[in-house]
A and B are shown apart, each in its own frame.
Chain A
Amino acid sequence: MSGIGTGYDLSTSTFSPDGRVFQTDYAQKAVDNSGTVVGIVCNDGVVLGVEKPIVSKMLVEGSNRRAYAVDRHAGVAVAGVAADGRQIVNRAVQEAVSYKNLYGDAIPGRVLADRLASYVHLFSLYWYSRPYGTASLLAVYDDDGPQLYLIEPSGAGHRFFGTAVGKGRQAAKTEIERLKLHEISCEQGINEVAKILHSVHDEEKPFEMELAWICEASGREFKRVPAELAAAAERQAKAALADSDMED
């Protein structure tokens, strides 16, 4: 970051001479340091997976949720600053309710992604606000089928077949690219996501995995993956990891 100390990083309302907004770059850094969040679109739905570092042995299991339903047909997993993530989730809920109020139908994925991106973008426009240090993976199942979107702190929004953010994103993305996404179902998808999260994880520290999906098996509703399935996926991921370690 060549801009540090040059005065171009103090506000989102100032560009650096080479065309960057440093505050949004820093916000992106907050995301990059976070636990890995993975999303893949399978042939029958979307799977989201979150790697949650366990910050204390005294932490109650299941605390600090990172994947939230925002309507029956849509959910968000957030990486980065958790508190900022709550704001984005709340906004997504409001947008979904307001769309339903106005048009009497569930909000389409691209509209929700667009509105969330615009909302996040607002915070990089004024000197008095700081951008959200959060990237959101948005999983939707609407009339156009299952979709996955990524909304970055800058306000950029993209649609993906599969992507990852956070610490292990590079390795995770490489792994995702190896998958034949249109050939696997979400039941297989959760195993793949679990494997990826375990393989990119720095082994020293304990972590909890949060899996959520929206697919036929969940009744096309965004739900946490049932505990038995999630546990099975985790066992299978650990076994696969142990196998590959043996080969090494």
Chain B
Amino acid sequence: MLPVPTSHSPALGPGCAGPSLAYASASTRSDIAPPSAQQPCCGSEPFMVDPSAAAGLGLRRHTDTPYVTGTSVLGITYKDGVMLAADTLGSYGSTKRYKSFERLAKVNDATVLGAGGELSDFQYIQTLLDELATEDYCADDGMQLTPREVYAYLSRVLYNRRNKFDPLWNSLVVGGLEGGVPFLGTVGMIGVHYTDKHIATGFGQMLARPLFRERHRPDMSEEEATELLHDALRVCYYRDKQTTNKFQIAKVTAEGVSVSEAFALETQWGYQAFVNPAANALGTW
């Protein structure tokens, strides 16, 4: 009968699902040496003390490693607002596990969220934001979270979880329109966050961002912006093996938020070396 505390319970801090997290989990591993204050087993070097070791507790392992992951999320501002783009693949290691996983989600009438990294963590983050949105709906005062507020909230949630050594393993991109001005920001799994005119997470930072730096202008038309994203996505598809040719683009404009149907891009594989890989190696027989 008693209600479960809401996921963003003020008593527990944002991003903490319930009191159960305060206890050591059953998945404590015994096959490695117990941590000491000098040798934390959280993967970091000796400078800091692992709190679980310092507290004399057994080792807690929550998301110590991601399982089902999404790759890059791209985002650009343009004349009418912002656009985010991502593919729809959920990878299980090198397996294409989920091929139609939507990594772009509407948060409210002025905000979209894109996520890479652990997809279960992303779904958890979606429930957090859904709760906040429902809270705003019930307050019925016409207010909702602005994109900047969503971004600030998520940066605190992810930072607080890294402080608990139990990170939400995501790179998030928040896009939206705030008083007619485009907003685009990103938050990483340890809480690093920044805003910019164009953003790319993961491999996109290497593959898409150079294209953005060359071709992006804040006053791009919708067609130009879409074309730039298509080109960037195509490069990601060619060079990032965790990308599939099934993409979505989300758009925030004065008209509101829309997330496109999934689409595929035209690709070109007819290069000579593909058609005849042995063309340059004649051999002796």
Which residues from chain A sit less than 8 Å from chain B, CB to CB?
68-72, 91, 93-98, 100-102, 115, 118-119, 221, 223-224
Residues of B within 8 A of A100 (CB): 130-131, 134
Assuming the contacts A94-B3, A115-B1, A118-B1, asked whether A101 and B127 have C-beta atoms less than 8 A apart, the reply is yes
Q: How far is the CB of A75 from chain B (nearest CB, A)?
A: 9
Q: Name the prevailing secondary structure of the A interface residues.
A: helix
In the bound complex, residues from chain B placing their C-beta under 8 Å from that of A223 are: 140
Interface residues on B, range: 10 to 19
Contact with B140, one of A91, A118, A224 (Cβ below 8 angstroms): A224
In the bound complex, CA of A93 to CA of B138 (Å): 8
Q: Is the CB of B140 within 8 A of A97?
A: no
Given A101-B127, A115-B1, A118-B1, decide whether A72 and B7 contact each other with a Cβ distance below 8 A.
no
Question: Of B1, B7, B127, B134, which one neighbours A71 at CB under 8 angstroms?
Answer: B134
* CA distance in complex: A94, B134 (Å): 11
CA distance A221 to B130 in the complex (A): 15
Interface CB pairs A-B, < 8 A, 21: A68-B138, A69-B140, A70-B138, A71-B134, A94-B6, A95-B3, A97-B3, A97-B6, A97-B134, A98-B3, A98-B6, A100-B130, A100-B131, A100-B134, A101-B4, A101-B7, A101-B127, A102-B4, A119-B1, A221-B137, A224-B140
CA separation between A100 and B7, bound complex, in Å? 11
Contact of B131 among A70, A97, A118 (CB under 8 A): A97
Counting from the closest, the 4 A-B pairs by CB-CB distance are A98-B3, A94-B3, A98-B4, A69-B138
Within 8 A of A (CB), among B118-175: 127, 130-131, 134-135, 137-138, 140
B6: which A residues are within 8 A, CB to CB? 94, 97-98, 101
Chain B residues with Cβ under 8 A from A91's Cβ? Answer: 3
Complex CA distance for A224 and B1, rounded to whole angstroms: 30
CB distance from A61 to the nearest CB of B (A): 15
Most buried by B among A93, A97, A119: A97
The closest CB in chain B to the CB of A92 belongs to B138
CB-CB nearest in chain A for B3: A98
Complex alpha-carbon distance, A224 and B130, angstroms:
21
* Chain A residues whose C-beta falls within 8 Å of the C-beta of B137 in the assembled complex: 69, 71-72, 221
Contact pattern, B 2-32, Cβ under 8 Å of A = 1, otherwise 0: 0110110000000000000000000000000
> Complex formed: what's the CA distance from A69 to B130 in Å?
15
Closest to B135 in A: A93
A90 to chain B, nearest CB (A): 10
Complex: chain B residue closest to A102, CB-CB: B4
Report Cα–Cα, A115/B138, bound state, in Å: 19
- B139 to chain A: closest residue by CB: A69
User: A residues within 8 A CB of B4?
Assistant: 98, 101-102
A190 smallest CB distance to B (angstroms): 18
Min Cβ gap A213→B in Å is 13
Contacts of B134 in A (CB 8 A): 71-72, 96-97, 100
Which residues from A are CB-within-8-Å of B3?
91, 94-95, 97-98
Taking the closest CB of chain A, its distance from the CB of B19, in whole angstroms, is 14
Tell me the smallest distance from the CB of A198 to a CB of chain B, in Å.
Answer: 24
In the assembled complex, which residues on chain A have CB atoms less than 8 Å from the CB atom of B140?
68-69, 223-224
- Report Cα–Cα, A98/B5, bound state, in Å: 7
A72 surroundings in chain B (CB, below 8 A): 134, 137
Q: Chain A residue with minimal CB distance to B140? A: A69
Q: How far is the CA of A68 from the CA of B137 in the complex (A)?
A: 10
Most interface-central of B4, B131, B134 (chain A CB within 10 A): B134
Q: Using CB atoms, name the residue of chain B closest to A90.
A: B138
- Bound complex: CA of A31 vs CA of B159, how far in Å? 48
The residue among B127, B131, B140 with the most chain A CB atoms within 10 A of its own CB is: B140
Given contacts A97-B6, A102-B4, A118-B1, 15 further A-B contacts (CB under 8 A): A69-B140, A71-B137, A91-B3, A93-B138, A94-B3, A95-B3, A96-B134, A97-B134, A98-B3, A100-B130, A100-B131, A100-B134, A101-B4, A115-B1, A221-B137
